[in-house]
A and B are shown apart, each in its own frame.
Chain A
Amino acid sequence: MAAADLFALQARARRAYEKGRVLLGLRRAAVVLPMAALSVFACDRPTASCVAAALLAAGVIACEWRGQSFGRGARIGLIAGLPPLLLPLIVQASGYMCNASFCTFYPTMCVVGGIAGGALLGTAAVHRGLSFPGLVTAGAVAALCGTLGCLIAGLAGFLGLVVGLGAGAAPVLVRRRA
């Protein structure tokens, strides 16, 4: 085989590999669809839900395509984001209605979900030896994922989620470094 043919074949193989990675990203990002549907139906903020879901899906696809610690971080983030996503929605589905002008119950649920998600994130990061970029990716993906549920509490919910994630992950990560 001539050198030019060999290079062409190698280029084709490389394109096939990159295509495979994009397809992997699309498959993994498919889990965002049911999350987005839940958020749209439960949170009553369809535009914000769609924007957060689109950002989350794009982030997951990009991280899985890039691979290594980014891909691992995205997978951990998707799991760690489940408690803050589901907890406020479960509370709402259980029939709790907030009638006060400023309701602290849903933001509290976001903090609690965030702490649970943060603890999951920290444990998984320590267990899988996630590097700093992977940790940042996991945090960002978990925050976006949790936002889909915490939109129910508006900006307060988002802030509660971020505080909770930090509070949940910090002790595990600090203990690991010590």
Chain B
Amino acid sequence: MDQVSRRRLHEDLTRLADGDREAFHPVFVALLPLLRGFAARGLPPAEADDVAQEALMKVFLHATEFDRTRDALSWVLGIAAYQIKTARRRHERRRESGVEDADVVTRADVMADPEAQAIAGDLDAAIEAALRELSPADAATLRAFAAGERPPEVPAATFRKRVERGLARLRNLWRTTHGRR
């Protein structure tokens, strides 16, 4: 963002903080692409847009608290950075619990299309064949991981390590059998 746009954003946000609704549209137009770009740098594309929107809502909710002696851009990016950090933590927690919402959605979408269903069936068969090549312990760990479960007697950190090792072996096996990841 160049200096002129930055100064204009500061002026508009100051007016908005004071209650001038005329400044709403210019601030919205200036912030949407800015926050999208900022979120896209720190998050996967699928999540970046949602986080950018969340940050935008936070900026407008707290616009009345904007201190005109501070730089508007730094203030906005501070809010966005916090949202990104929160999203990353959420993502980490989801990974630890072994449930990937995105995977669930993707599978549900695949099941709606017969051609995609056939491809998914072939892929499942190939994965099953690759799993049979792995050691029974690795195969059991990955099956449990795919089902979103963890054996109760195995601690979470140990299970995560086993999953990582199992996935690395499966990846190697897949690469030698199918020539790509």
**A residues engaging B (CB < 8 A)?**
9-10, 12-14, 16-17, 19-21, 23-24, 65-68, 70-71
Q: Which secondary structure dominates chain B's binding surface?
A: helix
Q: Which residues of A contact B25 (CB under 8 A)?
A: 10
Contact indicator A14/B19 (Cβ below 8 Å) = no
Contact indicator A67/B57 (Cβ below 8 Å) = no
**B residues engaging A (CB < 8 A)?**
16, 18-20, 24-25, 28, 32, 53, 56-58, 60-65
Contact indicator B60/A66 (Cβ below 8 Å) = no
Q: Which residues of A contact B24 (CB under 8 A)?
A: 13-14, 17
Contact indicator A14/B18 (Cβ below 8 Å) = no
In the bound assembly, the distance between CA atoms of A67 and B23 in angstroms comes to 13
Q: Which secondary structure dominates chain A's binding surface?
A: helix
Contact indicator B57/A71 (Cβ below 8 Å) = no
CB contact under 8 A between A67 and B18, given known A10-B28, A13-B57, A14-B24: yes
In the bound assembly, the distance between CA atoms of A19 and B63 in angstroms comes to 10
Q: Which residues of B contact A70 (CB under 8 A)?
A: 19
In the bound assembly, the distance between CA atoms of A17 and B62 in angstroms comes to 7
Contact indicator B18/A20 (Cβ below 8 Å) = no
The interface centre, meaning the residue of B25, B57, B62 with most chain A CB atoms within 10 A of its CB, is B57
Contact indicator A21/B60 (Cβ below 8 Å) = no
In the bound assembly, the distance between CA atoms of A16 and B56 in angstroms comes to 9
A21 is contacted by which of B19, B28, B53 (Cβ under 8 Å)?
A: B19
- Since A20-B63, A21-B19, A66-B19 are in contact, a sample of 18 more A-B pairs with Cβ atoms closer than 8 Å, ordered by chain A residue number, is A12-B57, A13-B24, A13-B28, A13-B57, A13-B60, A14-B24, A14-B60, A16-B58, A17-B63, A19-B61, A20-B61, A20-B62, A21-B64, A23-B61, A24-B64, A67-B64, A68-B18, A71-B18
Q: Which residues of B contact A65 (CB under 8 A)?
A: 19
Contact indicator A17/B53 (Cβ below 8 Å) = no
Find the B residue at minimum CB distance from A65: B19
Q: How far is the CB of B83 from chain A (nearest CB, A)?
A: 13
Contact indicator B56/A13 (Cβ below 8 Å) = yes
Q: How far is the CB of A131 from chain B (nearest CB, A)?
A: 13
7 tightest A-B contacts by CB?
Answer: A67-B19, A17-B60, A16-B60, A24-B64, A16-B61, A20-B61, A68-B19
